[in-house]
Structure 1
């Protein structure tokens, strides 16, 4: 019979602090659910303006996630190879959007792609293309704030992957492209799914960079977070209803991919190996 671990003062104090941490994260969500007008929720969400914003949010978040996958997976592969020079600096640059206030990211995007921006002025002069205050601007703002989540998740999966299979395939004459496509990527699929789930949910909730770079135009750039902000002054019940919808979508995505994204997070493989070894 296994003896129960003795509860000390330090352990009890640590548990109390941990409970306070859980309360900080959970109680605001409890308050949101308690304030939700459940009897009118369907009617509030079915409002044409809400449906329009929700459709735009889902579409732009899906496009941003696809673009992050195309750009982020190769970037994660580069970061996972410490033998390459400059990866430390590159990793620091990739993680900047995680700590940068989103509104600052929006200002930076505007200065880059605005009509007088570093690149935007040339786009308009040469091709007649204007990026800000369009749906494309929403996607770019979401990519800017969300891609680091995907890159770090995939990099962690690449570092934790067993490289012996890739080395064996190379020894047998397989090309680097074949090894990447048929050996490495299948092995890190949980990490890719983890990054994609986190990327999508982060893009779905993006606000600061979007409102600065894309504005808030109905049907074009007004995503659900922007609609929530506007509704707080004029229709608070509708704002609460939209907030619950965003919460539900985020939870559904994470729960649906739980087996994949938990397995793909950095450290999950090591923990699994320790359990097997014990």
Structure 2
């Protein structure tokens, strides 16, 4: 049986949310990964813990914190609405924000480990030849950590596809607006007779996640070969 319009909307919205999530996360992931790998400063442990906190917190807690801070009456959300006209609660932009929070640790961790494995002597050698810090990063560090960026991106993408608790709490379950695959599955499971549709979305979700992870592994290995990195 072909997928229904209801299911199609959930699939498209999930891909949209996941795609916007990784686009926003890549620069933040690179910056935070480099900061935690290459710099020593007061409060580094606290920042590291804060970044990884969503991994151990119940997703509902993350969603609730977003609701009271970024909601229309939240500490930050009210200011954004009044001065910039931005609204995150109960729309797809809020789903992107919630997914970004829960997927950030995966992105940062992957990139940080890649930067840790870059030989600092290469960067130091380039610096002694007169290269600026930015040039060293973009010509030496960045190319060498591409496998880590690719892996982090795909892990964040897959995590965003499966996000449920934070999204449900922050933006609710609105068909066509915030209802991603997990939320649509939840609705189907709660409705007698719709178990088949839930199972179909479950299979689709598994396939998309597997394709994402396999693609990530393929790109990472290909990049390593082109860089001459042996595993």
> Please, what TM-score do these two structures have when normalized by structure 2?
0.92
Q: Which of the residues 199, 206, 215 maps onto 1:240?
A: 199
**Unmatched tracts of structure 2, length 5 or more:** 224-229
Q: Which of the residues 89, 103, 107 maps onto 1:150?
A: 107
CA contact (8 A) 1:194 1:262 kept: no
Select the structure of larger CA radius of gyration.
1
Structure 1 residue 245, shift from structure 2 partner: 0.4
Go from structure 1 to structure 2 and tell me whether the alpha carbon gap of 1:215 and 1:58 turns closer, same or farther (over 3 Å shift): same
CA contact (8 A) 2:146 2:220 kept: no
CA contact (8 A) 1:131 1:137 kept: yes
Q: Does residue 1:120 correspond to 2:77, yes or no?
A: yes
Aligned-partner Cα distance in 2 for 1:261–1:89: 30
Aligned-partner Cα distance in 2 for 1:126–1:188: 39
Tell me the alpha carbon deviations over residues 185-230 of structure 1, each in whole angstroms, 9 at most, x when there is no partner. 1001111111001000000110001011111111110111100000
Report the counterpart of residue 227 of structure 2 in structure 1.
none
Give runs of aligned pairs for residues 159-174 of structure 1, distance below 5 A: 159-174=116-131
Go from structure 1 to structure 2 and tell me whether the alpha carbon gap of 1:112 and 1:225 turns closer, same or farther (over 3 Å shift): same
The CA RMSD over aligned residues, in Å, is 1.9
**Unmatched tracts of structure 1, length 5 or more:** 1-39, 265-270, 273-278
Q: Does residue 1:61 correspond to 2:18, yes or no?
A: yes
Aligned-partner Cα distance in 2 for 1:214–1:70: 25
CA contact (8 A) 1:53 1:227 kept: yes
Structure 1 residue 261, shift from structure 2 partner: 4.9
Q: Does residue 1:130 correspond to 2:87, yes or no?
A: yes
Go from structure 1 to structure 2 and tell me whether the alpha carbon gap of 1:83 and 1:128 turns closer, same or farther (over 3 Å shift): closer
Structure 1 residue 233, shift from structure 2 partner: 2.5
Structure 1 residue 260, shift from structure 2 partner: 4.7
Aligned-partner Cα distance in 2 for 1:262–1:245: 26
CA contact (8 A) 1:154 1:188 kept: yes
More moved, 125-134 vs 141-150: 125-134
* Residue-pair matches, total: 224
